[in-house]
Amino acid sequence: MTIINYKEPSHKVDMRYIKANCSEIKDKPRGFWRVENDLHVFKKGWSDDAFGDQCIINMVIPKGSEIYAERVNAKDYEYGIDCRKMRASKALVHSIVKYEDCEIGLMQNGKSCMEFSEVKPISKCSSTWDQNFIYRKGKIAVPVQGFFYIQEQCTSGIHFFLNLVDATMY
């Protein structure tokens, strides 16, 4: 069993992180950013074995990549988890872990925590959207169809969240 302390997801906090580590791309539609400092992000996937367990992919969006983060001025929770989902032109897969189950709750000290059971590092997993798209530890993932400069979240790109909670719950 692995227990991780966390803070509640917040679009406002996510956008502060984006603004501190990225610059807005002026010649593209609103919401497109160029990464100035590596971003450490998370994504959910499926293990590539016969059991198909859930996985968390820990990725780095490298400097120079482009991302789309919509609703820059959204208030916390106003739009829910979908407004905190972002997409990138590429991402380096840092690590992948598969797990049996995840529960979110409170510890005795009142802090929020996530409890994972049966956590195991693995070297590859598939996308939750396209099981033919494989993420491999140590490799750069790029979208098959390229990175589209349209103001839509659910289009071509490497989708990610800035926090583990959103990635796990998505």
- Structural domain for 57, as ranges: 2-169
pLDDT (0 to 100) of residue 13: 67
- Tell me the C-alpha distance between 38 and 27, whole Å: 22
pLDDT (0 to 100) of residue 92: 98
Percent of the chain with pLDDT over 90: 41
Q: Is 140's pLDDT higher than 80?
A: yes
Give me the number of domains the chain comprises. Answer: 1
E-only strand ranges, the chain: 2-5, 22-24, 32-35, 39-47, 54-61, 66-68, 86-88, 91-99, 101-106, 112-117, 120-122, 124-127, 134-136, 140-141, 158-160
What is the average pLDDT across 37-52?
85
How many beta carbons lie within 10 A of that of residue 17, not counting itself?
16
Model confidence at 101, pLDDT cuts 50, 70, 90, reads low
What is the average pLDDT across 3-9?
51
Listed range (1-5, 58-62, 79-83, 135-139) with the worst mean pLDDT? 1-5
Model confidence at 72, pLDDT cuts 50, 70, 90, reads very low
What is the average pLDDT across 131-154?
90
Model confidence at 82, pLDDT cuts 50, 70, 90, reads low
Q: Pick 79 or 170 by higher pLDDT.
A: 170
pLDDT (0 to 100) of residue 48: 74
- Tell me the C-alpha distance between 2 and 116, whole Å: 5
pLDDT (0 to 100) of residue 74: 46
Q: Is 12's pLDDT higher than 70?
A: no
Model confidence at 155, pLDDT cuts 50, 70, 90, reads confident
- The sign of the torsion formed by the CA atoms of 162, 165, 167, 170 equals negative
